[in-house]
Structure 1
């Protein structure tokens, strides 16, 4: 097994908060806790962090050891609590031995009484001495007197003192500054065991003649985590810097030219569009020659390095490149400065495994031997340790024993892949399908959109996604530096992410389902999709087509063989001008064409469709044949060009929601007064806000629950089928 560092302490919490619950839990301490959390800090707070069944003293001692800063709220009765004094003694011991940062807050107590153990504190210690041995109480007294000598905040209270909110603001600002000064890095389980390797790379970076550093290693070995840790350590000294994640994947999504344009624009802080394979502009080359730091993550071709212009960076620049292929790094300029990212040693592996399997830094009682067997099996691969540990969390001992037996007979070269596969095998059918969908289609996509689409496919999709997160098979992250093909900006909220090794595993599972392309459950490769559609190969097996945001798509084939197609998503296909008749595809329930601005003809769809989204299209008319869609429940035409709506729309007996907001419609159709009962039998919601040209709304169903005509500036009258009307 490859070795790396000696065991290193994992800092899991920014702050450990010590307080006397009965004194301050419901006032000052709770407000301080919320203020710290609002800044994104991880605070150990006993009510939230202690697992059931843990021994109090062991859990607290462990939490103190893995916290960067301890804040002690010293209230009048603090010293009366034995557990508080045990905490304080442990904190002060760690301060003396490891330089642990301690911040006292003297809450309505005199600091001199703490130093001298006077006032109510003297009474408390006399009480302890009457019940405890002297050698037990003496360290408590020493620690208590010692903290009284430290600088902190003295909150006297009373009408002449500052508001407590001001003190809290000061404390939070000081904590953040202190964390920054001590070089704090994000508290993350993934940082276990990388300190040695991080320092080795930092030594390379400090060499003046070293411009390009390569990080080489197998998938799941922690290359990206290590690159990010190094980047965070020294990027602040450079004016220009950028962390370009998942280069291989992003080039597949948006192409080299688009990615380079975005990258250079960000790096040079201006709009840059080269437009040629080489960076020919002398000015651009000169600007790139200035000092800067760059990370290119997951590169699989040395041409990608050249294309991004790394060769033009000046002597003061630093570029870190991660890859699974050593030859790519050597060809890309990292020859002689390549660091092999090795697996964790046994101690660090056990620590990382335990943080996911037990939510603590060491194995639980009775699981030590089993834990070591799993750790040995993973060969120090951090991804395998995380995934296996997460799957085993809160499982019975018999489950552990069964799983380790299944894994032990795998050949050495397949151990890591089988470890990952075993976690997939433990999912139920819905969870497995969601995992495969994400691996094939949704990696890097916004979380909310992914949930929306998958919820339409699987019952309990959100629970399934949460299960995958718990098992470390997927992650949810805020992608603030990555480009998205979905939004015009590279900044968006929570997104689905997945390690590329797991992505490859998922796609391999799909490929192994069938050797025949037309029988695969999922298609993601453009070449394969084109082949299937062009020659009518998957089609009878095809259930869903997702063409979201295909900007250059102009038309869709007739899909004659797709008799089992249930969903077609063409949202944001701006160039789509032609849609074939889908009336023969009787299984289609959902059709989304929102944002297809070039589409001008109302689509012909099956009579039993449930949902039709035509928002922001060029469609001007809702035709008479709308009446045949007698199972349609949701019709959306928001911000479309619709002016005329056929009166037959009122015959849609299943329609529940009708959206016409922002349409240039002048008159909503009326129905024969002799048969008003036929009009919208199920309609409960109708939105027509911002329809500036609308003048009259008449014969509306009396059972309508939600009618929105806000900002319809020309509207004069609204009436219902029971003859009641409203003048506006």
Structure 2
């Protein structure tokens, strides 16, 4: 299917604010086709401009609307029986078809119960409309006719004798596919993320849609599990019928509980508007509502098996082709939920080159250190130990500071660790029971670099039962 790609112009620099602009005749389709299309785009998270306010006949469209057209990456024109009656719609269409764009702008016509050839040749209702406009001696008529012909010459969607709901589904899939470059480019802005995202996507087996797959992202706090999941979610969400990103589940679980997340999952995917007051009801609804839908769900920062059981339960809850992505620092939780070892991606720390690049981006807004800051940069990277969170926090705190301030902050860190970083890292320690905390502290303080069997004997002699404790620490 071909679309109108407006010519680029060196005199314009287009900035996308909206992903889709909807042009339509309100009296014809506001409460029917266009209303349903807008709702479907919104459910997919596509930022859509839909202007329901129309000026009286003869009034000019305002600067806000003109700007919205200029800032929209895709313009969808719903050509209905009375579209050409409206001078407002025709002015809107002429603006859409101007050569103001840069590459990537798309115009997509929808022929809503009208013959595309009637639109192209201005016959029937369209001829009657232009006859009236010419009687009013409007000097815009030639421009309007040209714009209408331009749009009608495009391959679009003919709604005649077709299911409107099926057509809307096709349009939404088409639009999300055309916007996928936005998703794939997100990883390019995050140091080290593109290669990790591509490696993780291989585990998702996106070439096969016959079964439901649960896939894990494993790693220590601050290593970038959530970021990786969000990047992949944006890159692949256009493949699915329904999508939901459930962030920081463990925090919600310890607070108000999972009912709110269950309600979010139902609302963002199948459009369920039922209030979920308690978790048992939410679990029952989820287990029944997704069976026919190819669904993508990210369950982020899971630290208890109960969270998965109540949110994404079993594979048979979801339609063929569904993918459930779980991020956690607990390897055992993934095992308990049946995620096989070959479906777990472990997020490693940054390599030296990535760590330097990330730090420089945050501290200098550059890929290399400023002159005279090379040695201090190395010292801060030694402290951060290639942990992305630590590098981001430290780099951001040093931006636009003098060399003396860098030196003072480095001295302070030797005595008092950065609380933002430590707060995240401590979550792993505080989630252990007391005996496992004691084993962790003893290993960190007394057995670093020692033979494991030697450490086990000492810990066992002290009554710590290290067989279980060390296994738990290793899983986290």
TM-score, structure 2 length as denominator? 0.49
TM-score, structure 1 length as denominator? 0.33
Larger radius of gyration: 1
